[in-house]
Amino acid sequence: MSLAPEEQRSVARTHQIWGWIGLLLFAGFGMVLEILNGLKLGFYLDPEVHLRREMWRLGHVHGTLLSVVQLVFAFSVSQGWLASVDRTRLASFFFRGALVLLPGGFLLGGVNPSESDPWIGIWLVPVGAAFLLLALGLTVLEVVKSSE
């Protein structure tokens, strides 16, 4: 079933909102990391918590990039590059899921890391990665089909 114009606008708007809010949150988190660095706070900078630093940086980067991906997806939908309702809705679900799970997993992984591994919250990352791959796969499928 093809995506109706109202649905197109609705999906695009949803991802615009998610994208801009995501950018605000994750870019803002990046500023928080800068402040922690600037204040030389031990719980962020001590050698013993190197995994916390690494995980939170990864969370900030992935969250910011995935927020941009939301906006790109919104643009793609608004341009009519995705036609199928079902696959578009599915991709939308997985893109939003990825935005929550991937950077969320990194952030949780840095909450209480051990010396060798992040906290168990890191397990949300592969789930988020699977969601992202599914979303991208569905989008590629739609874009290829709509260009035919």
Partner 1 sequence: MGVMLVGAAVLLACLLAAVQLFRRLPRTTALIITSGLVGGLVGIPLLLLAALGTESNKRIDLEHVRYEQSRSCVKCHPDHYRTWKQTYHRTMTQNPLPDAIIGDFNDVRVEYLGHETRFFREGDRFFVESTDHEWERAVREETGVTPAQARRRVYSVDRLVGSHHQQVYLSLLDNGEYFILPFLWNRRDQKWLPMTTVFLSLEDGSVNLGYTTTWNQSCIFCHNTGPNPGMEVPGAGEAGIRWDVHLQEIGIACEACHGPAEAHIESNLNLIRRQYLIETGKRDPTIVNAKRMRKVNANQACGRCHGKWGPRPEHIREILTRGDKFIPGRKDLNEIYVMPLLGKREYDPARDADYFWPDGSPRATALEYQGTVLSPCTERGKMTCLSCHSMHDSDPDDQLKFPEDPTTPELERNEQCLQCHPQFRGNDALVAHTHHPVDSAASDCATCHMPFQTYGILSAHRAHRIQNPVPEVSARDSTPNGCNQCHVDKSLRWTADALAQWNPDRAKLIDHADLFAGERTELSETLLQLGRGHALSRAIAVQMLSDANGLEAAPGLWRVPFLIDALDDSYAVVRLNSLRSIRQMPGFENVVFDHFGPDSLRNQQIARIWDRWDVVWSEHASSLPKTIPLNANGRIKDDVRRQLRANRDNIVLNIME
Residue numbers at the binding site for partner 1 (CB under 8 A): 47-48, 50, 86-87, 89-90, 93-94, 97, 101, 108, 112, 114-117, 119-121, 123-124, 126-127, 130-131, 134
Distance of CA 95 to the CA centre of its chain: 7
Residue 8 CB, nearest approach to partner 1 (Å): 16
Of 58 and 101, nearer to partner 1 (C-beta) is 101
Least separation in angstroms between CB 133 and partner 1: 10
Closer Cβ to partner 1, 20 or 111, answer by number: 111
Closer residue to partner 1 in complex, CB, 30/120: 120
CB of 82 to partner 1, least distance (A): 13
Cα–Cα distance, 51 to 124 (Å, whole number): 16
| Tokens representing residue 143 in the block | 């874009």
Please answer whether residues 18 and 99 qualify as being in contact, where contact means their C-beta atoms are separated by less than 8 angstroms: yes
Let me know: does 95 contact 32? Beta carbons within 8 Å. no
CB of 31 to partner 1, least distance (A): 27
Residues contacting 47, CB < 8 A, separation 6+:
none
Please state, in angstroms and rounded to a whole number, the distance separating the CA atoms of residues 28 and 35: 11
